[in-house]
Amino acid sequence: MRGKALLIILIMLMVPFSGCLNFDEDEKIIPNEEVYSNGLFTTNSKGTGIDVPPIVLDFFFSNVGEDGPEPSIGITSTGCIFFIAMEKPMRSCDYGLTWENSRDITQAPFTSDPYGWVDPVTDRVFNIHMMGLESTWIGWSDNDGESWLGNPHDSGTTPLNDHIKLATGPWVSDGYGIPGTLSPIYEEAVYFCYNKGLGIFCFTSFDGGATFEVGGQIFGLATSDGGLHGAITTAPDGTVYVTPRVETPAVIFSKDNGYSWETREMGNDVGTPNPRKNSEVATDTDSNAYHIWTGADFGVYMSRSTDSGESWEQSSIRISPVEVISTTFPQIDAGDPGRIAITYLGSENSSQLLSTDIDGEEWNGNPHYANSNISYYLYITYSLNALDEEPIFHTVRVSPDPVQIGSICLNSGDCRDIGGSNRNLLDFNDLHIDRDGRVYVAFADGCTETCATDFNSTAENSRSKTGSVYYLNNGPSLYESVGELSELTFYE
């Protein structure tokens, strides 16, 4: 194993920025993509290029070995990576060199909509599954997935719709955490949200996810999608954020462990597209918040809050380069103040903006209607000064071949069949950092094997959903005190 690890490290050093160990970048043909850049961008708050040297960002690629649409990723303090998607929680404790099913979890009636979370304080790993339309199985492990416990959570008589989410965060002095009311017996508050036909519902657990005694509806019927929402985010000061799917970008937040909720809007200047997918919030070690979403022009935008969600900038910042003219599935995490990382799927097929979409209309960059001559890649963007008046963004086109060719369904219902359903990637990807501030990205690869190597590949060839991970191999930690990170090595 040691020789294998060292060989892999040497190969990675010879193939910078690609992160892929299976191809020679100089010989590989990039299908369907008119590449106008070298995949590296340094941009300002408007997404335009600036004369600043790019920071070094080198990523390692790992094939999980199972289907992985709608993946979640988390990393325990021991370095074990958990990739949860479809029906198997996958685990790698050797930095992605090998993956295994984290033991057979026989107590859970698996479905196709799981969600995973690793508590960064206690290392508890959560693996939750929908049980039909009426309840959810919430399972957890306190020993890196060697054994699991769990219970069903009944969502009531109104059927569950979609988007089960879970996260943990600190208890605060107000709200549910007041001594003498409902006293917690687990170090962290556990939040569980889902949407029904009437809107978004969120609950708080005091016993580590075993039961959810308090909570209810926090947001009404937002759209025809029934109030679909994004991931739950918690800040060090205890503020909890949930993002609804609405036409004007917004966040819902609670400062009393989910007892009460408020809503703030932002981003009127760039709006959101329709159809669309959910936005996401990240918080740094000082509880500053960063909200990202896909704008109406299909770039990735951001608004910042420095007062724990009370107020947000109304002038949006563009994160994605203007050369990337179509994006979807934006995810974000943060470390120290101003140090953030974002991932998304994007296309640089700029000449195709004048082409027609799958309905024969002029294409405007909407992935939902992209034709077979559009290719989507995985991008990762860093900023080490995201709180500055003029932040700098460093972007890498990480995947050496497309993640998807053709359209990507952006609604849970109104989707097209082009040689098989374009729902193959489902609704989101994921990005999280470990205790060292190293970035990990989980995504589903929709263009594999011959699709990735054949110049003539079309949408019909791009309907796989292979679970995949990139993590930072060399580059700056999102924690300033850690400094520059170097490649991970595993010795058996």
- Between residues 242 and 180, the one the model is more confident about: 242
The total number of structural domains that make up the chain = 1
Per-residue confidence band for 482, with pLDDT thresholds at 50, 70 and 90:
very high
466 phi, psi to nearest 5 deg: -75, 125
Give CA–CA dist 145/388, Å, rounded.
41
What per-residue confidence (pLDDT) applies to 8?
35
What per-residue confidence (pLDDT) applies to 188?
96
Overall average pLDDT of the 416-443 stretch: 88
Per-residue confidence band for 294, with pLDDT thresholds at 50, 70 and 90:
very high
Task: Please determine, for residue 471, whether its predicted confidence score (pLDDT) is greater than 90.
Answer: yes
What per-residue confidence (pLDDT) applies to 35?
46
- Kindly state whether residue 491 falls inside one of the protein's structural domains: no
Q: What is the mean pLDDT of the chain?
A: 85
Hey, CA dihedral for 90, 93, 94, 100, is it positive or negative? negative
- Kindly state whether residue 20 falls inside one of the protein's structural domains: yes
Burial of 154 (0-12, 13-18, 19+ CB in 10 A): exposed
- Between residues 485 and 368, the one the model is more confident about: 485
Q: Which of 94, 66, 12 is nearest to 448 (CA)?
A: 66
Task: Please determine, for residue 158, whether its predicted confidence score (pLDDT) is greater than 60.
Answer: no
Give CA–CA dist 327/298, Å, rounded.
5
- Kindly state whether residue 492 falls inside one of the protein's structural domains: no
- Kindly state whether residue 490 falls inside one of the protein's structural domains: no
- What domain range is 412 assigned to? 2-485
Overall average pLDDT of the 99-126 stretch: 80
DSSP 459: G
- Kindly state whether residue 130 falls inside one of the protein's structural domains: yes
Of 247-251, 279-283, 335-339, the one with minimum mean pLDDT is 247-251
Overall average pLDDT of the 62-75 stretch: 95
pLDDT tens figures, 224-272: 444 678 999 999 999 999 999 888 999 999 999 999 999 999 999 999 9
- Alpha helices, H only, 360-436: none
The number of CA neighbours under 13 Å toward the Cβ of 257 is 23
472 phi, psi to nearest 5 deg: -65, 125
Tokens in use for 74? 């988390």
Of 140-149, 302-311, 343-352, the one with minimum mean pLDDT is 343-352
Kindly report the CATH number assigned to the domain that includes residue 274.
2.130.10.10
Strands 393-397 and 404-405: unpaired
Determine the residue type at 381. T
Tokens in use for 356? 């027609």
Overall average pLDDT of the 432-451 stretch: 97
Rg (CA), the chain: 21
Tokens 């979807």 belong to: 328
DSSP 212-264: --EEEEEE---STT-S-EEEEEE-TTS-EEEEE--SS-EEEEESSTTSS-EEE
Q: Which of 344, 341, 318, 346 is nearest to 329 (CA)?
A: 344
Cα–Cα distances (Å) from 339 to 267, 290, 392, 480, 483, in that order, read 21, 10, 11, 8, 12
- Kindly state whether residue 306 falls inside one of the protein's structural domains: yes
Percent of the chain beyond pLDDT 70? 81
- Between residues 332 and 1, the one the model is more confident about: 332
Q: Is 380 left (phi over 0), alpha (psi -120 to 50) or beta?
A: beta
Give CA–CA dist 422/407, Å, rounded.
6
- Kindly state whether residue 481 falls inside one of the protein's structural domains: yes
Give CA–CA dist 430/279, Å, rounded.
12
Instruction: Give the chain's count of helices (H) and strands (E).
Output: 2, 31
